[in-house]
Amino acid sequence: MLAFAPLHAAVGAAGRALAWFTTLLEPLAGDAATAAAIVVLTLAVRLLISPLTLVQVRGERRRAALAPEVRELQRRYADDPARLRGELYALYRANGASPVSGCLPLLLQAPVLLVMYRLFTTAEGGTGLLAERLAGVPLGQHLADGPGGGALPLFGVLLAALLALAWWTSRRMRRAAAATGTVAGTPTQGPGAAVLGRLLPLLPYTTVPVALVLPLAAVIYLVTTTAWSALEQAVLRRPRPVPDGIDAR
């Protein structure tokens, strides 16, 4: 059990934070106060990691600026994968760009989703959150538990929102790929890159099957964080000419 002590502590802290937000929001939100608290807590988490998102976007711009050089290296060393990897590493390192920097915000959100899942499927939170409801549906209920009590319409609305957000995000990624030859700063040409360029715009749709196995509370978190990501994309990834030089801002 010692291996799960940090997770247990995180779940307890999240439960206390949610209970505090619920009490604060109850005069305004009434019976939906706990669901509203999940939204507020999610926004707080996203604000905390927003500096990493800025780093991610700047890294994408640097990689997009390097795309012509990357394609030239891919052409030159098409028959020597080991040399190509070394040259790409040297190019990215020399220009302060990393092909994996964009994963940081996503990696940091994964533990939050796990905490939210355990908070509403176990008694670890210690705050009675398992009994809270939204529109008569327990926040710990899964879609697979049955459509009773209005669960099907509520899950349907949330899943439709996720699908719409995924479509919008994927559409923007495809447009960016067509305009710049990159997706999230990753070139879409060259060995393996074309396949990656086709797969990356499909990633936003993975939120939908994930939501099918999550409790209602975690689905609310997922919809909120996905909407925040879409807003960030609209604001931080506005179409703009690639600036001269590598140090794009």
Q: Is the pLDDT of residue 136 over 90?
A: no
pLDDT greater than 80 at residue 176: no
pLDDT tens-digit readout, 143-162? 888 777 788 999 999 999 99
* pLDDT confidence tier of residue 248, bands split at 50, 70 and 90: very low
Domain assignment present for 148 = yes
Query: Who contacts 7 (Cβ-Cβ below 8 Å, separation ≥6)?
Result: 114, 115, 118
User: Higher pLDDT residue, 60 or 231?
Assistant: 231
Q: What is the pLDDT of residue 247?
A: 46
What pTM value is reported for the model?
0.75
Evaluate if residue 118 carries a pLDDT over 70.
Answer: yes
Is residue 245 included in any domain, yes or no? no
**Residue type for 73, please?**
L
| Predicted local confidence at residue 181, as pLDDT | 53
The predicted structure's pLDDT at residue 179: 56
User: Is residue 84's pLDDT more than 70?
Assistant: yes
Q: Is the pLDDT of residue 53 over 50?
A: yes
Average pLDDT (220-239) is 84
As a whole number of Å, the end-to-end CA separation of the chain is: 46
Residue 7: pLDDT band with limits 50, 70, 90: confident
The answer to whether position 247 is within a domain reads: no
The residue ranking higher by pLDDT, 244 or 200, is: 200
**How far is the C-alpha of 91 from the C-alpha of 98, rounded, in Å?**
10
Decide if 40 is inside a domain.
yes
- The mean predicted confidence, pLDDT, of the chain is 78
Count of domains for the chain: 1
Would you place residue 229 in the very low, low, confident or very high pLDDT band (cuts 50, 70, 90)? confident
* pLDDT score at 98: 63
99 or 95, higher pLDDT: 95
Contact 14, 120 (CB under 8 A): no
Note the pLDDT tens digit of each residue in 9-45.
Answer: 888 888 888 889 999 999 999 889 999 999 998 898 8
Q: Which of 108, 87, 115, 77 shows the shortest CA–CA distance to 214? A: 115
In three state form, how does the secondary structure of the chain look? CHHHHHHHHHHHHHHHHHHHHHHHHHHHHHHHHHHHHHHHHHHHHHHHCHHHHHHHHHHHHHHHHHHHHHHHHHHHCCCCHHHHHHHHHHHHHHCCCCCCHHHHHHHHHHHHHHHHHHHCCCCCCCCCHHHCEECCEECCCEHHHCCHHHHHHHHHHHHHHHHHHHHHHHHHHHHHHHHHCEECCEECCCCCHHHHHHHHHHHHHHHHHHHCCCEHHHHHHHHHHHHHHHHHHHHHCCCCCCCCCCCCC
- For residue 1, the model assigns a pLDDT of 41
Q: How confident is the model at residue 2 (pLDDT cuts 50, 70, 90)?
A: very low
Mean pLDDT of 190-212: 75
Q: For residue 241, is it within any domain?
A: no
Kindly report each contact of residues 143-152 with a partner whose C-beta sits within 8 Å and lies 24 or more positions away, as own/partner. Answer: 143/211, 143/212, 144/212, 144/213, 151/216
Geometric angle at alpha carbon 244, from 242 and 239, rounded to 5°: 15
Q: Is residue 223 part of a domain?
A: yes
**Domain around 92:** 2-236
Asked if residue 243 is part of any domain, the answer here is no
More confident position, 69 or 7: 69
